[in-house]
A and B are shown apart, each in its own frame.
Chain A
């Protein structure tokens, strides 16, 4: 992240105060770090069993943007963290996310920088490596990215498609949006309704992974499971199409579809 240009002010690891890593001073807690430094955001790599505590500490200390990389956090903990964030006016990205990146400017996350180039397309994705795949293909075809947000693969997440779309709506650097979804839950369906109901002013192209996934089997991500009738790729694709959002059949088709829209 430092190499990329992100301004890392401090690190926090309980009991490691005083250490210096890659030129960054380490403190025992977020409040301690914020006594000496100013920070707008925080990124959390803490193991799952400690994530809740670390996240609550950050939010309560005044961190307004929290990116949670950690996966396998108990859902009860995630719910508590997100509810607290909402109360405090903080934004949580994740958990189980590779992070967020504005190519050429700043990266809060662990995505490989090479596949991202600066451009006009906003990307919002539930996946990890599939996000890189999509970004790589977009970059290859000349569709650089304004900002790419990994919203995470867990069933309960902070910033979701709708909230991210809302932010991209006002973002002057973004002219079109790509949504990368997958089976499980109804966040894509809600995004489709939002796009339709608010006559979303920018073109959106979607890709949904898992058309061939069977019911009842979790495909890797905790959030990627079709239970009963809910959460099939087919349903999401249908909702998108009804909202006027083109859905690519494969990642490589996304650029083609964008080309026709912008």
Chain B
């Protein structure tokens, strides 16, 4: 593959973080297609001839060494790229130039396109699907392969589940050539193609293991008329818990993560697990399950949560204050509900954080607290002195918060 980027001895892959949750550095990492293909190449897997470019001149230059037709692919992290017009075909230089200008700098799925891949369109006898994922249930890697690829795998799984071969891979023994050949044989391949495809799968598995991937997906895996297998696309999602052992992946936080709101991005900096929702009751608690249960309870009282926020264990005054500051930064929030069942977290520290935040960022919005557990008497005293209501049960606290939220909404309407 002709690449515009200089590959050094240690390939520096820019990992663009697609953050789905924010608990400190706990992030779900998705690589761009071009980054994934670079890794695939390192592992000896064939990809179409092409280049990664970020401007029209480079694009035109790269066309000099490619044969038409070519595919132009927007390098974005969001799914549904093809349907959104992020994958285009060109049969001539002029056509390519027009399409390059159209793609670079545009937005696909709300994501700005700063890079595209230009590569030769491979003649395809077949489009296969090949992937390595993880079975939570079986606690092992799964090899997934189908001769009917090229479409969304979930769609395929629904439409024609029998066409997807699923094979568990023992985490202790892995996927070797022999096992891979057994699987590929069932697809009807023999001799040369059998060996090639099996070898490809073994290498995909090696990539998954090496990079602590939660998912490695090639869709489509093209089978050419001459029986070659080429990786037309490459998707890889890396287990965020494994980052500590991948110094070769250099992190560059996206300034504006397309998947994340500003508040969510900020919360990460403070090690908070925070998700924006659309209601007017701000929610904070200690423990993900407890917070989820609180959100559910709010809905049952006809309220609408503005967010999910888990303080995590042992939260101190600072952490509580920062969480509330972020939460209260949301103008939609009319009432705040804090649910603390303190096992190791200290109630009086939490109370101090609440009072501090209310004084500085509260802006006349009521805070309702449920607080029981370690140092609860001390904590309640602090809240009492600040005239912040507290309850022993999450139901009572939630009921009150929902009531206040409805009042606030009614006030808004009447004013």
Contacts and interface: CB of A to CB of B under 8 A. Distances in A.
30 contacts: A48-B241, A48-B244, A74-B241, A75-B134, A75-B242, A79-B134, A80-B171, A87-B172, A112-B343, A126-B289, A127-B287, A129-B285, A129-B341, A130-B289, A132-B341, A182-B289, A183-B292, A187-B137, A207-B293, A210-B292, A212-B305, A216-B20, A217-B20, A218-B21, A218-B28, A218-B275, A219-B308, A220-B310, A251-B394, A252-B395
A221 interface: yes
B136 A156 contact: yes
B235 to A, nearest CB: 14
A83 interface: yes
A156 B245 contact: no
Nearest to B275: A217
Interface in A214-230: 214, 216-225, 228-229
A250 B137 contact: no
Interface string A165-197: 000000000000000101101110010000000
A144 B290 CA distance: 20
B127 interface: no
Interface in A11-68: 48-49
B38 to A, nearest CB: 21
Contacts of A180: 289
B287 A75 contact: no
Contact of B171 (A73, A83, A217): A83
Contacts of B305: 212
Interface in B162-177: 170-172
A228 B154 contact: yes
Contacts of A213: 292, 295, 308
Interface in B231-276: 239, 241-242, 244-245, 273, 275
Interface residues of A, number: 62
Interface in A112-128: 112, 125-128
A47 B239 CA distance: 17
B66 interface: no
Given A219-B288, A228-B154, A252-B393, A75 B300 contact: no
Nearest to B294: A209
Contact of B292 (A185, A220, A222): A220
Given A75-B212, A127-B290, A225-B21, 7 more contacts: A79-B139, A79-B141, A87-B172, A112-B343, A126-B289, A209-B292, A219-B291
Interface of A: 48-49, 72-76, 78-80, 82-84, 87, 110-112, 125-133, 136, 153, 155-157, 180, 182-183, 185-187, 190, 207, 209-214, 216-225, 228-229, 233, 249-252
B171 A79 contact: yes
Interface string B180-220: 00000000000000000000000000000100101000000
Q: Which of B172, B244, B293, B373 counts the most A-chain CB atoms under 10 A from its CB?
A: B293
Given A217-B20, A219-B21, A127 B288 contact: yes
A156 B214 CA distance: 12
Contacts of B154: 228-229
A133 B297 CA distance: 14
B300 A76 contact: no
A250 B172 contact: no
A128 B289 contact: yes
A132 to B, nearest CB: 6
Contact of B136 (A80, A185, A216): A185
A110 B345 CA distance: 12
A220 B264 CA distance: 13
A132 B341 CA distance: 8
Nearest to A76: B212
B341 A78 contact: no
B57 interface: no
B407 interface: no
Given A79-B141, A84-B172, A212-B299, A222 B341 contact: no
A220 B239 contact: no
Interface string B294-327: 0111111000010010100100000000000000
A253 to B, nearest CB: 10
B408 interface: no
A220 B288 contact: yes
- 7 closest cross-chain pairs (CB), A and B: A220-B288, A127-B289, A129-B287, A130-B289, A218-B21, A74-B242, A112-B343
B286 A129 contact: yes
B140 to A, nearest CB: 6
B93 interface: no
A76 B209 contact: yes
A138 to B, nearest CB: 14
B126 interface: no
A76 B212 CA distance: 6
Interface string B320-360: 00000000000000000000010110000000000000000
B81 interface: no
Given A187-B137, A220-B308, A130 B242 contact: no
Contacts of B290: 127-130, 133
A212 B170 contact: no
Contacts of A223: 136
Given A79-B141, A210-B292, A223-B136, A129 B308 contact: no
Contacts of B171: 76, 79-80, 83
A107 to B, nearest CB: 12
Given A83-B171, A132-B343, A212-B305, A74 B287 contact: no
